């Protein structure tokens, strides 16, 4: 995947494509066998892939619809806990799309920006009720894809507003959170804003 599929379009100057979608599951948030995560390895070895991390299966369906229209390879990491959720099925399930690389603002706030994805997003949503009771206004962002990452720089715009940011995931040190932090603080210039 990392050597051939991820680089085929680049190596052939756009003459060949490998529009494969690899579907897997992850982000269970429970159990001893679910405590490891290869997210850091995935992000760093699959440049050239889309790495999608949907928060639920409706979002996953929209991402699949987007990917089926593209020529690029993708890795879809579905949330195991998402299989158990009862979601409202959209009437246009086979047609609606989710843009890749675009951060979804789940809730606007003014005190702190919380950035997450996948299963941890629901954990943060539950914690937000407690924070609301304490008078803390949270802006919650779902990155939706790790690759590409925040192409519209929505996270830095939120950080400018709140001056505080928290990255939440279930990954090991140096994994998904480290990648997100590096992208926002270093690449997007987030170090300019008080945190």
Encode pLDDT of 110-129 as tens digits.
Answer: 999 999 999 889 899 999 99
Two tokens at 183? 């992208």
Under the banding of pLDDT at 50, 70 and 90, the label for residue 40 is confident
Pick the range with the lowest mean pLDDT from 34-43, 47-56, 61-70, 137-146: 34-43
Could you tell me if 109 and 68 lie in one domain? no
Residue, of 17 and 50, whose pLDDT is higher: 50
In a domain? residue 123:
yes
pTM of the prediction?
Answer: 0.90
Residue, of 134 and 25, whose pLDDT is higher: 134
Encode pLDDT of 148-195 as tens digits.
Answer: 999 999 999 999 999 999 999 877 777 888 999 999 999 999 988 865
User: Domain residues for 182?
Assistant: 104-192
According to the model, what pLDDT value does residue 164 have? Answer: 95
| Cis geometry, peptide bond prior to residue 121 (ω within 30 degrees of 0) | no
Whichever domain contains 164, its CATH number is: 3.40.50.920
Pick the range with the lowest mean pLDDT from 10-19, 28-37, 59-68, 186-195: 28-37
In a domain? residue 3:
no
For the chain, what is the domain count?
2
Could you tell me if 39 and 109 lie in one domain? no
Could you tell me if 44 and 111 lie in one domain? no
- Residue at which a domain ends, from 84, 113, 146: 84
Residue, of 32 and 85, whose pLDDT is higher: 85
Report residue 145 CA to chain centroid gap.
4
Q: What is the mean pLDDT of residues 144-149?
A: 96
Could you tell me if 185 and 110 lie in one domain? yes
Q: How far is CA 166 from CA 5, 118, 137, in A?
A: 34, 16, 13
Residue, of 69 and 28, whose pLDDT is higher: 69
Under the banding of pLDDT at 50, 70 and 90, the label for residue 76 is very high
**Statement: residue 44 has pLDDT above 60:** yes
H helices of the chain, in order, are 8-11, 39-45, 57-68, 120-133, 154-162, 176-182
Query: What percentage of the chain exceeds 70 in pLDDT?
Result: 94
């Amino acid at each position: 995947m990392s050597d051939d599929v991820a680089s085929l379009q680049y190596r052939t100057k756009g003459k060949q494509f490998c529009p494969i979608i690899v579907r897997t599951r992850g982000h269970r948030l429970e159990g001893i066998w679910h405590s490891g995560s290869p997210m850091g390895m995935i992000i760093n070895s699959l440049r050239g892939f889309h790495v999608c991390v949907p928060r639920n299966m409706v979002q996953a369906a929209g991402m699949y619809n987007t990917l089926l229209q593209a020529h690029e390879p993708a890795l879809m990491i579905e949330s195991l806990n998402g299989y158990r959720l009862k979601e409202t099925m959209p009437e246009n399930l086979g047609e609606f799309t989710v843009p890749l690389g675009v951060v979804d603002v789940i809730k606007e706030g003014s005190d702190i920006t919380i950035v997450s994805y996948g299963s941890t997003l629901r954990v943060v949503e539950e914690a937000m009720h407690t924070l609301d009771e304490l008078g803390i206004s949270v802006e919650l962002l779902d990155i939706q894809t790790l690759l590409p990452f925040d192409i519209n720089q929505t996270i830095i715009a939120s950080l400018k507003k709140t001056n505080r940011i928290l990255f939440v995931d279930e990954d090991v040190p140096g994994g998904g959170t480290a990648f997100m932090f590096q992208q926002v603080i270093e690449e997007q210039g987030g170090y300019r804003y008080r945190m």
